[in-house]
Structure 1
């Protein structure tokens, strides 16, 4: 279970992006605990809402259809207005960006079937610019 660095959502292969939605729904339903995501509970719920919004934006941009928002709506019920900002600011830092990049790099090198070369090249260009 992993919530990818928020800045890398646009560079995720289809499988990883769809997995983000599944993992978020699991958090919404059960407030899952896992060593790679426990940090989210140290932040206000608004951070998870902002992250979720960014995942949904990327899914919509790619034309993915979402069947239901019920778990999400229930989880964030009563949250109120949320100011747009970068979620999980102290965790989604440069170190985590590098960790996620190398994880994605390995997936590409090992031949993940849905990781198109053009998308991987875009990721590499982005990483060169920010690191």
Structure 2
């Protein structure tokens, strides 16, 4: 069973590499099959501008970490009818404070359970971001 999730865009820089790579795979699955899943169905309520903007954020983070992006053909086909409007906060009504917190606790559990590529430094950055975003 596949569990699709588009992580809150504010957390992309704190994702362990495995989560970031999985995010790219999930996006490619959406591009190829327009997957439906309870955790991502909301994306189809938005214009493609939002998914395009979100995808650019994921690509930017992957490039910042020097992660090799082998293929973008599915993405290019999916977004072939562009250009797209600039969106500063993709999925604004869903990627809100509550969703940020849901994603944070999901990642916190991964760290607590010993995910191999989730080091203490990345977890500390995640926790600092949580404190700033949530005022806690």
**Pairwise TM-score range, normalised by the shorter structure:** over 0.9
* Pairs aligned (count): 131
Match of 2:33 among 19, 30, 55: 30
String of CA shifts for 1:97-125, please: whole Å, max 9, x gaps: 00000000000000000001101100101
Distance 1:84 1:27 in 2: 19
- Could you tell me which residue of structure 1 aligns to residue 116 of structure 2? 113
3-state SS of the aligned residue for 2:37? coil
Please tell me whether residue 67 in structure 1 is matched to residue 64 in structure 2.
no
Extract unaligned runs of 5+ from structure 2. Answer: none
Displacement of 1:55 in angstroms is 0.2
For 1:8-87, list aligned pairs within 5 A: 8-87=11-90
Deviations, residues 10-29 of structure 1 (Å, cap 9, x unaligned): 00001100000000000000
* Contact persistence 2:52–2:84 (CA under 8 A): no
User: Is it true that 1:129 corresponds to 2:132 in the alignment?
Assistant: yes
Scaled by the length of structure 2, what TM-score is found? 0.94
Structure-2 separation of matches of 1:80 and 1:56: 17
Match for residue 99 of structure 1? 102
Q: Which runs of 5 or more residues in structure 1 are unaligned?
A: none
1:92: how far off? 0.2
Alignment partners' CA distance in 2, 1:93 and 1:81: 22
Return the alpha-carbon distance in structure 2 between the equivalents of residues 47 and 108 of structure 1: 29
